[in-house]
Amino acid sequence: MRKNKLLCGIALVLSGCLLFSACGKSADDTKQNIVPTVNYQNDDFGYEIQIPENWQVQSGEDKSQIYAVSADNKLALNMVCELGGFNYYTPQDLAMTIADKTTSSFTDTRVVSEEKVSKFPDSYRVVVNGTNEEGIHTVVDVSLLQPIEGIHYYLIFSGGVEDYQVFSSQWEKMLDSFKTTKTAEEMYQKLVTD
């Protein structure tokens, strides 16, 4: 049940962000370089990440999920923390499940790459592309990070293929900047109190 709630929440947020990816000029018109970043810290769920300073970050009442969108509304990042995750699924299974759910309405979907993430044990990354409902060729890049046993962080980056390619080196730096700010004991305590 909890997994379905998580997947539905991610799917709803991403369907909104994928609509944004269709807006604006082509990547050739807005060639992006590495832009200055700011440190975004989520004290409730114990992580921080560097986000471009001109991106807008939003979260609702449930601080386990935040959404960041580029100034031009072409790229989006959804970050979700899952406490007490499903350890009977492999990291690859979890990352693929999220990728499948977020691209379920796409056509011509294919896995572009998948790999273990060396930053944390039991972490996995899947990159999928396909054509969204508006006919835009879109990339969804899902990283499942598990720095603490049973605590999963999903970083879901999406945008049009050209914009994604232009921004890919910045995205790699953002992904590399992700770190936890709470101990395992502090995070496990949230399982008891939340």
CATH number at residue 184: 3.40.1000.10
Q: What is the C-alpha separation between 58 and 48, in angstroms, rounded?
A: 15
- Give residue 184's pLDDT: 85
pLDDT tens digits for range 92-147: 999 999 999 999 999 999 999 999 988 888 899 999 999 999 999 999 999 999 99
Distance, in Å, from the CA atom of 64 to the CA atom of 86, rounded to the nearest integer, reads: 16
Number of structural domains the chain divides into: 1
The confidence score (pLDDT) of residue 86 equals: 58
Query: Residue 8 gets which letter from DSSP?
Result: H
Q: Do residues 55 and 71 make contact, with C-beta atoms less than 8 angstroms apart?
A: yes
Residue 77 domain boundaries = 2-193
d(CA 52, CA 71): 9
Confidence of residue 33 (pLDDT cuts 50, 70, 90): low
| 48: CB partners within 8 A, 6+ apart | 39, 40, 41, 42, 177, 178, 179, 181
